[in-house]
């Protein structure tokens, strides 16, 4: 919990119980939908409304703490952005796997910034596959 407080303060946000609840569930669940997130939060905090969860996700997204992962099933997924990583999304079973950047992507980002004369705050990459190790196990 102290990590969440420090993370929120680093982004100039108050460490409200609602924000901490959202972050706790995002850590527990891998890439939940808004419905998944809300249902889990409701178990521990029945008084929190869906509107409050949406509002807090929106604030956390604005500050770069949370990112949205848009996948083929049409349901937005959410993830804490702790370090640069790629999301590998399976079109078949909708499983999402995180893969860390390697030096090549950092070099590409640097080259892109130079070529375009911009500063990239975050490079979001979603790689889509037709089948993954999770759905091949079944």
Which domains does the chain show, CATH number per domain?
Answer: 1-81 (1.10.10.10), 83-138 (3.30.1490.190)
Q: Which tokens go with 57?
A: 């996700």
Helix (H, G, I), strand (E, B) or coil at 62: helix
The pLDDT value recorded for residue 1 is 63
First to last CA, the chain: 36
Provide the pLDDT for residue 76. 92
Predicted local distance difference test score (pLDDT) of residue 21: 95
Predicted pLDDT at 138: 56
Q: What is the pLDDT of residue 72?
A: 72
pLDDT, position 82: 81
Give the per-residue pLDDT at 137.
65
Low-confidence ranges of the chain (pLDDT < 50): none
Q: Dihedral, CA atoms, 44, 47, 51, 54, nearest 10 degrees?
A: -20
Cα separation, 98 vs 109, whole angstroms: 19
């Amino acid at each position: 919990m102290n990590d969440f407080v420090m993370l929120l303060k680093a982004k100039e946000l108050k460490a409200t119980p609602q924000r901490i609840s959202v972050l706790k569930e995002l850590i527990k669940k891998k890439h939940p939908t808004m419905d998944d997130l809300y249902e889990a939060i409701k178990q521990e905090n029945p008084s929190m409304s869906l509107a409050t969860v949406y509002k807090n996700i929106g604030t956390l997204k604005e500050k770069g703490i949370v990112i949205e992962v848009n996948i083929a099933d049409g349901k937005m997924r959410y993830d804490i952005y702790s370090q640069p990583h790629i999301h590998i999304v399976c079109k078949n079973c909708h499983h999402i796997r995180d893969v860390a950047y390697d030096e090549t992507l950092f070099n590409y980002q640097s080259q892109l910034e130079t070529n375009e004369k911009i500063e990239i705050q975050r490079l979001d990459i979603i790689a889509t596959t037709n089948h993954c190790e999770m759905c091949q196990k079944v």
